Structure 1
Amino acid sequence: MPRIRPAHADDLPAISAVCLAAFNAAVAPSLSEAGIATFGSVAAADAFGARLQGDNLILVAEHEARIVGVVELKEGRHLAMLFVDPACQGQGIGHALFEAVLPQVRDPVLTVRASLNAVATYQRYGFALDGDVGEFNGLVYQPLAYAAPS
């Protein structure tokens, strides 16, 4: 199993690369050019760097000195990113990242705006549907909520 640790500034290019690779493989084919561009700007290394300076916790999964997954918790209450390198999916890395971030949740409810292909995965983690499918700048998502353990 990979080692999970807090992200450092020098991890930002690798974090961005993992998110973009997973997004391009699984999500991008179902989106408009606008949605793909929106995600590209949100997942850019400098955008992660700016969020790392704010009230966001970013954890990485590292295997043999290579980043293979990332999770981002925004303001202790919203799962902003959860991506695993496509070559490493199906090995429990995403679930391990999710479990690692749970103790840092500061709200009774953890929310996520999941890409539609990821809804079943979040439901396996214990999330429930929380509203209708929405769209933001071309990104199509399903709101879900998780009752964080107190």
Structure 2
Amino acid sequence: MDIQKASKTDLAAMTNLVSAVSEIDVLPLLTQQGQDEYKARVLPDLATTLDEKRFIAIKATSGSQLLGFAALRDGNYLTHLFVSHASQGTGLGRQLLAVLLNSTDAKEIRLRSSINAVGFYQHHGFEATDEESAFNGIRFVPMSLVRNRPITLP
């Protein structure tokens, strides 16, 4: 397996991967409005993650097969982390997350976790910063990872 920078030539494979994972893991947890909004906004918006001025977008491949994709915006906001079903549970998500976290010196990384991924992010040090919310039917939990937290004494 190889992790490297994603490029414009990966867009179709990225869209297919995100669509396939979303169909099983994300969309069933959304209202019909949320499903429609997700399909209309999230999937077509994947192309923006390839803007190297604002995003670090990486992919994991084995041969010519795309196994995972992740993107970090402005060095401090995780916008995407998707792993193919065949690769889930192998540590690939952890590896993609580590590569992105190691690419920035931001003290805080934020994200809006899909409901199904909250446990993954909690396992990797993220904490919910608010209760579950929804935007146009898309459910999420705002989360944050604060790195090098100062020790607070009583």
Preserved contact between residue 25 and residue 86 of structure 1 (Cα < 8 Å): no
CA RMSD of aligned residues (A): 1.6
The residue type paired with residue 47 of structure 2 is G
Q: Which aligned segments of 4 or more residues in structure 1 are displaced greater than 3 angstroms?
A: none
Aligned to 1:82: 81
Q: Percent of aligned positions with the same letter in both sequences?
A: 27
Shift of the 50–27 alpha-carbon distance from structure 1 to 2, 3 Å rule, reads closer
Aligned partner of 2:48 in structure 1 is 50
SS in 1 for 2:16: helix
Provide the TM-score with structure 2 as the length reference: 0.88
Is the radius of gyration larger for structure 1 or structure 2? 2
Unaligned 5+ residue runs, structure 1? none
Please name the residue that 2:5 is paired with: 6
User: Please, what TM-score do these two structures have when normalized by structure 1?
Assistant: 0.91
1:1-150 correspondence runs (5 A): 2-40=1-39, 41-44=41-44, 47-53=45-51, 54-148=53-147
Q: How many positions carry a matched residue from both structures?
A: 147
Which blocks of at least 5 consecutive residues in structure 2 are unaligned? Answer: 150-154
**Range with greater deviation from structure 2 (33-42 or 14-23):** 33-42
1: CA distance, partners of 2:79 / 2:58: 12
CA distance in 2: counterparts of 1:110 and 1:140, whole angstroms: 20
